[in-house]
Copies of this chain bind each other. A is one copy, B any other.
């Protein structure tokens, strides 16, 4: 109902009377007042003038479910949103909801995370109100070995959304980070629940530094605000991301992963670079040649032998010259 009141106020030209809303929404005028009061507590600046009614002055800078969904117009991505003021990690909450059967496209986001994390349990700094910290539930009919394309697809969708809303072009550091001017602006984390031969659901987490200030970040990180020198509307970026995700996910499901690969090749922080990569099976060093059709990274070692890694920590080394 709060969402419907907000919609009413947003669509209004000037003031809306309490009576009008009460009639239209089939609730009492006292109920209208109660919802207006709750919205004010959420940070909406709503003017109330006797005999005129209510007028929306300004929106809060918050990732609220009804703001994310206002005018979103996707088919399923973000059609169910759970927004929290604070969570330990949106990943765990999403996993819980996934186990309870939450539908594909469900979004969990939080203003701040107390235990935000990246790959392999590393922490992700999540200062309140500054970034986009969200997890998405997907239910693709894939094998558990087919996850790397989903991570890369998310990187592409996020890069596209950033470019559309801020004109910033980021590059993809295989397997799961986005960089601007060699600094990390976003990270992606893919987790799954699966049988050996069937994925039950996937949770894709995104941490994007939007209005984060430099003192809140590691030296190796940046934010959209630092890069543009402007405060960025998180809702706009996030809506663009959800729309973009729906499109790119659709392509991957239709077997058009090549279009993701093309984007990755054109905007890569890894391909052609001399890299050292570490995973559970050991180290590999050499020139990153290309991303393979399954999302793995192909590396030509000094011996000439080409190896493929499906994930891992990548260090970009200075070119020998």
Contact = CB atoms under 8 A, between A and B. Distances in A.
Contact of A95 (B120, B193, B281, B312): B193
B191 A143 contact: no
A144 interface: yes
B144 A197 contact: no
Contacts of A144: 144-145, 147, 192, 194
This chain's copy number in the assembly: 2
Grouping DSSP codes into helix (H, G, I), strand (E, B) and loop, the A interface class, with mixed when no group exceeds half, is mixed
Interface in A227-241: none
Contacts of A197: 119-120, 279-280, 310-312
A189 interface: yes
Interface in A181-210: 189-198, 200
Contact of A196 (B96, B195, B311): B311
A3 interface: no
A192 B190 contact: no
Interface string A158-198: 00000000000000000100000000000001111111111
Nearest to A281: B143
A148 interface: yes
Interface in A5-62: none
Nearest to A192: B194
A84 to B, nearest CB: 18
Nearest to A295: B196
Contacts of A99: 92, 95-96, 99
Contacts of A272: none
A103 to B, nearest CB: 17
Contact of A190 (B96, B119, B190, B196): B196
Contact of A195 (B119, B141, B195, B281): B119
A151 interface: yes
Contact of A145 (B96, B119, B145): B145
Contacts of A142: 280
Interface in A65-79: none
Given A192-B194, A198-B280, 15 more contacts: A96-B99, A119-B195, A120-B195, A141-B280, A142-B280, A143-B280, A143-B281, A147-B196, A175-B196, A191-B193, A191-B195, A191-B200, A195-B311, A197-B280, A197-B311
17 contacts: A119-B196, A120-B195, A120-B197, A120-B198, A144-B144, A144-B145, A144-B147, A144-B192, A145-B145, A145-B310, A151-B196, A189-B195, A191-B193, A191-B195, A192-B192, A194-B194, A196-B311
Question: A-B pairs with the 3 shortest C-beta distances?
Answer: A197-B311, A196-B311, A147-B196
